[in-house]
Copies of this chain bind each other. A is one copy, B any other.
Amino acid sequence: MLHGHQTWLFNNQPTIVATAVVGGPFEALGPLADDFDLLHGDLWLEQDSFEKAQKKLLEDACAKAIQKGGLQKQDVQFFLAGDLLNQIISSSFAARTLATPFLGLYGACSSSMESLSLAALIVNSRAANYVLCGTVSHNGAVEKQFRYPTEYGSQKPPTAQWTVTAAGVALLAAEGEGPKVTSATIGKIVDMGITDPYNMGGAMAPAAVDTITAHFRDLDIDPREYDLIVTGDLGRVGYEIAADLFKKHNLDIPAEIFKDCGMMIYGPDQQAEVLSGGSGCGCSAAVTYGHLLNRMKKGELRKILVVATGALLSPLSYQQKESIPCIAHAVSIESSQ
């Protein structure tokens, strides 16, 4: 199953038989609104804290994915999830609601593809027939956790990103109809010494490039084999740095196939607020499991590489003047049509 140094090839065709994507009111105004299964009009989701609202997003997405897959929750054998709150509390509470054997993960925004990589490994190894995996982020809960409560209205530099309010969940199965997860490249920590939590795109870009380089080296294939190579979430600032690094490393990835989830989820009229772009581990999960898989279904995309990037800082490590360790995990998904 291991190919090269750090890539898993899934020969038993783990299949994404259903996905579900749930978002908030600001995402409802974006260009991908039609790709959400459910959009909440209220950022509080009728809960009495943003943290509980984050949990509800993930619970809603899990319930919807299970329903779309034609299953009952007791049919799901394992649940793999992560989020950005301390002690990934939203994931644990959603796992309590599901009552499914649970593996909690933390890779910041890379958790979306970390969970898909491990879920695919489990299904590919026949260690389960049905595995649910997903991630969630909530603007109010996450901004408070990592920076300042949004109510403070703190001004941010143009390199800052906007935490997406969304959950994205995939139901993987050993058999069935749907796109196949064909490989996963697990990333190393890359830390270029950046200490500014308002420039996470810049910090994460080298990690994305490291994993993408490893993916093509391990599999010995050309980037043009993919219809789309999509990072999540570098934003505009990180995207430009990654594009420059590709050139520097002689990795020929045409601009038309290199995109970023954080630049796709919001429209030009939202840019004054989102600055460099969207972020949060709900962003890449929502864009992938909603928009990108819908485009696959329509036949517009045949084979994609999703590269979820994570900035593994904590507020405390930042206060202790540590630089930001970054990571990226890449997963290839192919249409079965």
Contacts and interface: CB of A to CB of B under 8 A. Distances in A.
A105 B108 CA distance: 11
A314 B84 CA distance: 12
How many copies of this chain sit in the oligomeric assembly? Answer: 2
Interface string A152-178: 000000000000000000000000000
A316 B89 contact: yes
B325 A92 contact: yes
Interface stretch (A18-26, A184-192, A220-228, A290-298): A184-192
A186 B77 CA distance: 10
A127 B118 contact: no
A5 interface: yes
A104 B317 CA distance: 17
A61 interface: no
A238 B140 CA distance: 37
Q: How large is the interface on A (under 10, 10 to 19, 20 to 34, 35 or more residues)?
A: 35 or more
A2 B128 contact: yes
Contacts of A186: 78, 101-103
A106 B125 contact: no
Nearest to A117: B103
B102 A316 contact: no
Interface in A1-52: 1-2, 5-6, 8, 49, 51-52
A198 interface: no
Contact of A87 (B106, B121, B122): B106
Given A86-B87, A87-B314, A187 B107 contact: no
Interface string A67-98: 00000000001100010011111001101100
10 contacts: A1-B126, A5-B77, A6-B77, A52-B320, A78-B186, A93-B317, A99-B188, A103-B107, A104-B105, A104-B312
The residue among A8, A102, A128, A187 with the most chain B CB atoms within 10 A of its own CB is A102
Contacts of A114: 103-104
A56 B107 CA distance: 20
Contacts of A104: 105-107, 114, 312
Given A52-B320, A189-B92, A189-B96, A87 B108 contact: yes
Contacts of A219: none
A325 B100 CA distance: 13
A240 interface: no
Interface string A255-298: 00000000000000000000000000000000000000000000
A322 B103 contact: no
